[in-house]
Chains A and B, each alone.
Chain A
Amino acid sequence: MRWMWIDRFVAFESGRRAVAVKCVSRAEDHLHDNYPAYPLMPATLIIEGMAQTAGVLVGEARQFADRVVLAKVPRATFAGDVLPGDTLQYEARLERIDDAGAMTSGQVQCNGRPLGEIDIVFSHLPRETADQLGIPSHNFVFHDDFRRLLAAFGLDMSRYPTAE
């Protein structure tokens, strides 16, 4: 299992809103443990899809200068099952952003129908904490896969400083 939970962006309005989609495939290993006779997309991975959509929105808003990490999920709701062949759409809105972190609200649709709502609080990892915990000083969060997703959507990635 890789750790990419969005397949492409379909809308990106800097500092405001991002929309990404994820195709759910029977070829994904983890579905077959959840459940062996009835493969379903695990709800926690739906939270991650929203966290990746919203996290990129938060990171881009400050030119990927911050190490943006998940701090809280105040609320997430799930109304139904997500099956192989379904398409999820994550819409994240930036509610607040400052030096300490950011807050986003989000809605998930499955095949165009509402599935749930997921709100997220992100932290911008402070330099002192990072040094104490031996965390890399470069921006390890927004690695090449995310940059490729944004480039594929049409963003000019040469406008942003590199991760190093």
Chain B
Amino acid sequence: MKFHMVDRITALAPGERINTVKSLAYAEEYLADHFPTFPVMPGVLMLECLVQSAGWLVRVSEDFAHSLINLALVKNVTFKSFLAPGQLLQVEVECRQLESRRSEFSGWGRCGANEIVKARFELRHENLAERDPGFAALDHENISHARRHYALLSCPAAAERKT
């Protein structure tokens, strides 16, 4: 299993907003446990879709300046309905505040006209080299990996495909 909760970036305005899509496939392993007789996307993974989308927005807005972009605070997450295999979660995340070491967002996940999840959250941006200069190589590796991955998620051919 890959911990990739964004399949495609469909729109991005640096410092402002991002739209992404996550499709839910029966083939995803965790659905066998959640739940054995009623497979639906776990709520916290829908939250992770919003968090990873916000992470891409931060990376692009600050030109991949930080190696680690982690969740620091979650406020008022609401789960309104279930997402089943074969459905798409359309994610929209709006940046409320973007500073160099932290950022604040509102996010929504929808399936067609139905709102499935909404949340407010804050991210922390860091480089390991701030803790120990010896870790600079690890930052470099994380950042190059993120750049390569972003190229895949955001290529125009992907954005133009109808979802």
Contact = CB atoms under 8 A, between A and B. Distances in A.
A44 B35 contact: no
A128 to B, nearest CB: 15
B37 interface: yes
Interface in A126-146: 133, 135-136, 138, 140-141, 143, 145
Interface in A34-77: 34-38, 40, 42-45, 47-48, 51, 69-77
A38 B138 contact: yes
A136 B33 contact: no
14 contacts: A1-B29, A3-B32, A30-B1, A30-B3, A33-B4, A38-B142, A47-B44, A48-B44, A70-B44, A73-B76, A74-B77, A77-B74, A78-B73, A135-B82
Interface in B15-32: 29-32
B82 to A, nearest CB: 7
Nearest to B47: A44
A4 interface: yes
Contact of B70 (A40, A45, A73, A77): A40
Given A3-B34, A135-B38, A140-B37, A72 B68 contact: no
A70 B38 contact: no
Interface size class of A (residues with CB under 8 A): 35 or more
A71 B78 contact: yes
Interface of B: 1-4, 29-38, 42-45, 47-48, 51, 67-68, 70-79, 81-82, 119, 128, 135, 137-139, 141-142, 145
Given A38-B142, A133-B82, A136-B38, A43 B3 contact: no
A99 interface: no
B113 to A, nearest CB: 16
A38 B128 CA distance: 9
Contacts, number: 119
A43 B141 contact: no
Interface of A: 1-4, 29-31, 33-38, 40, 42-45, 47-48, 51, 69-78, 81, 133, 135-136, 138, 140-141, 143, 145
A33 B45 CA distance: 14
B1 A1 contact: yes
B51 A44 contact: yes
B3 A76 contact: no
B52 to A, nearest CB: 9
Contacts of A141: 35
Given A71-B78, A77-B73, A143-B36, A2 B2 contact: no
A3 B33 contact: yes
